[in-house]
Amino acid sequence: MHVPDGFIDAPVSVATGAVAAAAVAVSLRGARRELAGAAQGSGTGAERTAPLAGLVAAFIFAVQMLNFPVAAGTSGHLLGGALAAILVGPYTGVLCVSVVLLMQGVLFADGGLTALGVNITDMAIVTTVVAYALFRGLVKVLPRRRRSITVASFVAALVSVPAAAVAFTALYALGGTADVPIGKVFTAMVGVHVLIGIGEAAITALTVGAVIAVRPDLVYGARGLTAPLELRTSPLTAPAGEPAAVPAALADEPTAVPTAAAPRRSVRRVWLAGLAAAVVCAGGLSYYASASPDGLEKVAHDQGIDAKAKDHATKDSPLADYSVKDITDPRLAGGLAGIIGVGATLAAGTGVFLVLRRRRSAGPGEAAAPAAERPTPEQV
C-alpha cells in the first residue's frame, strides 16, 4: 500500500503530513501510558516507551516478511496495523507502524518521502484506530472469553484493511493526480482490500490467539479478561447460558451482568447501528462511484504474488486533479460493490459471532478450550 511520490498532489500531501505529525505526537504521549503499566513497577512510561515500542516496531517489520502461503505458489503477508493495535494498544500501534513506514520510506525508498503523510494517515492511523475501536466495541459486547478476543481480532482486522482503502480513496478524491474516476478507484480498492482483509483477519486472529494462549497479560486489548477466564474453566461453576462476566472481569464492571438477554440486545443494537453506518457510508461514497468493474482487480491478482503487491497495483488507481467530469458515468456498479464489500464484512463477522454464541450456550466445557483453531505444537 505504499504510495510513491507524485500520486497525490502537493497540497494534500502536506495536509496529510500535518495530520500524521499530529497523530504521532498524540501517540507518543499515549504510548507512554500504554507501555507503563505492563510489568514490574520500576519503570515509568517514559523509560519503557523507547525500548518496547522499538522492539514492537522491529517485530512488525519482521512479521511483514513472514509469508503465509495461500495456494498455488502465491502467498500473503501481514500489514500489521490491527495486530499492533490489539497487542500493544492503539497509540503504540500507530507509533510503531508509523516508524516502520518512516524507515521503509527513508531507507528502502518504499513509499515516497512526500507521500509519507499519506502513507502514515492511511496505513498507520486509519487501520489502527478502526481496528482498535471495533475490537474494543466487540470485546465489550461479546461474552468475556478468550474466543471472543479471537473473534473480535478477526473482525477488527477484516474491517481495518478496507477502511484504509476507503481512506485512500478519499485522499485520492481530494488530491489524486491521474484521470481515473473515483468510482473505479473505490471499487477496485475496496474490492481487493476486502479480500486482503480476509487474509489479514485470519492471520491477525490466529496470532492474537497464539499470544493470548501463552501470555494473555501481553495482549493490551484483552487486559482484565484473564482472571474470569480461568474461573470459568471449572465445569461446575458455569451453567449454560449464564452470562460470561464473572465479577471483576473489568474493573469498572464489578457486578455480574444479570441475564444473557441484556448482552444479546446490546449486541444486536451494535450490529444494527454498524450496518446502518456501513450502508450510509457505502451509499454516500458510491455517489461518486461510477463505471463497471474494471481491470484493476484482475491486474492486482495476476500481479499479486503477495498482498503487498496487490496493494501497490491497486492503490495506484488514480483520479485526475481536474477530473470530476466522469461523474456522469454509471455509479451503480461502484456503489453496489461498496455495499457488497461492507456487507460481506458484516456478514462474516456476524456469522462468526453467531457460531460463537451457539458454542457458548452449548456448555461451559467449551470455555476450557481457549483457541481450538490453534493447531499442532509446531511452533518453536
Partner 1 sequence: MGAGHAHKLYRHGHSPVHALPAHCKIAAVFCFVLIVVSTPRAAVWAFGLYALLIAAAAATARVPARFLLQRLLIEVPFVAFALLMPFVAEGPRVHVGGLSLSASGLWGAWNILAKGTLGVAASVLLAATTELRELLLGLQRLRMPPLLVQIASFMIRYGDVITDEMRRMRIARLSRGFEARGLRHWGVLAKSAGALFIRSYERGERVHLAMVSRGYTGTMPVIDATTATRTQWTRAAALPFAALAVCLLGWTL
Partner 2 sequence: MDPLSTTAPAPSLAVSRLAYAYPDGHQALFGVDLTVGRGERVALLGPNGAGKTTLVLHLNGILEAGAGTVAVAGLPVAKENLAEIRRRVGIVFQDPDDQLFMPTVREDVAFGPAAAGLRGAELDARVTEALTRVGMADFADRPPHHLSFGQRRRVAVATVLAMRPEILVLDEPSSNLDPASRRELADILRSLDVTVLMVTHDLPYALELCPRSVVLSGGVLVADGTTQQLLCDEELMRTHRLELPFGFDPRSVDVPL
Residues in touch with partner 2 (CB under 8 A):
40-42, 51
In whole angstroms, the minimum distance from the beta carbon of 169 to partner 1 comes to: 15
Nearer to partner 1, 178 or 227 (CB): 178
In whole angstroms, the minimum distance from the beta carbon of 226 to partner 2 comes to: 12
Beta strand segments in the chain, E? 68-69, 75-76
d(CA 229, CA 242): 14
Q: Are 278 and 342 in contact (CB under 8 A)?
A: yes
Nearer to partner 1, 39 or 355 (CB): 39
- Written as nine digits, the cell of 178 is 491521474
In whole angstroms, the minimum distance from the beta carbon of 51 to partner 2 comes to: 7
What single-letter DSSP state applies at residue 122?
Answer: I
d(CA 359, CA 232): 14
The one of partner 2, partner 1, none whose footprint includes residue 313, by CB under 5 to 8 A per kind, is partner 1
Nearer to partner 2, 226 or 233 (CB): 226
Cβ atoms within 10 Å, residue 377: 6
The one of partner 2, partner 1, none whose footprint includes residue 253, by CB under 5 to 8 A per kind, is none
The one of partner 1, partner 2, none whose footprint includes residue 96, by CB under 5 to 8 A per kind, is partner 1
Which residue type sits at 306?
D
What single-letter DSSP state applies at residue 124?
Answer: I
Nearer to partner 2, 47 or 302 (CB): 47
Nearer to partner 2, 42 or 379 (CB): 42
The one of partner 1, partner 2, none whose footprint includes residue 53, by CB under 5 to 8 A per kind, is partner 1
- Written as nine digits, the cell of 65 is 516478511
Q: How many degrees, rounded to 5, is the angle at CA 102 between CA 94 and CA 315? A: 80
Nearer to partner 1, 43 or 224 (CB): 43
In whole angstroms, the minimum distance from the beta carbon of 119 to partner 1 comes to: 12
At 8 the three-state DSSP class reads strand
The one of partner 1, partner 2, none whose footprint includes residue 268, by CB under 5 to 8 A per kind, is none
Name the nearest CA neighbour of 28 among 113, 115, 100, 96: 96
Phi-psi category of 340—alpha, beta or left, where left has phi over 0 and alpha has psi -120 to 50? alpha
Q: Are 225 and 149 in contact (CB under 8 A)?
A: yes
The one of partner 1, partner 2, none whose footprint includes residue 48, by CB under 5 to 8 A per kind, is partner 1
The one of partner 1, partner 2, none whose footprint includes residue 349, by CB under 5 to 8 A per kind, is none
The one of partner 1, partner 2, none whose footprint includes residue 156, by CB under 5 to 8 A per kind, is none
* φ, ψ at 236 (rounded to 5°): -95, -20
In whole angstroms, the minimum distance from the beta carbon of 247 to partner 1 comes to: 29
The one of partner 1, partner 2, none whose footprint includes residue 41, by CB under 5 to 8 A per kind, is partner 2
Name the nearest CA neighbour of 16 among 172, 157, 160, 165: 172
Q: Are 243 and 228 in contact (CB under 8 A)?
A: no
In whole angstroms, the minimum distance from the beta carbon of 134 to partner 1 comes to: 20
In whole angstroms, the minimum distance from the beta carbon of 257 to partner 1 comes to: 30
Nearer to partner 1, 270 or 299 (CB): 299
In whole angstroms, the minimum distance from the beta carbon of 369 to partner 1 comes to: 14
State the DSSP string of 291-333. S---HHHHHHHHH-SSHHHHHHHHHT----TT--GGGGS--HH
Nearer to partner 1, 141 or 222 (CB): 222
In whole angstroms, the minimum distance from the beta carbon of 379 to partner 1 comes to: 4
Q: How many degrees, rounded to 5, is the angle at CA 44 between CA 49 and CA 38? A: 70
Nearer to partner 1, 252 or 378 (CB): 378
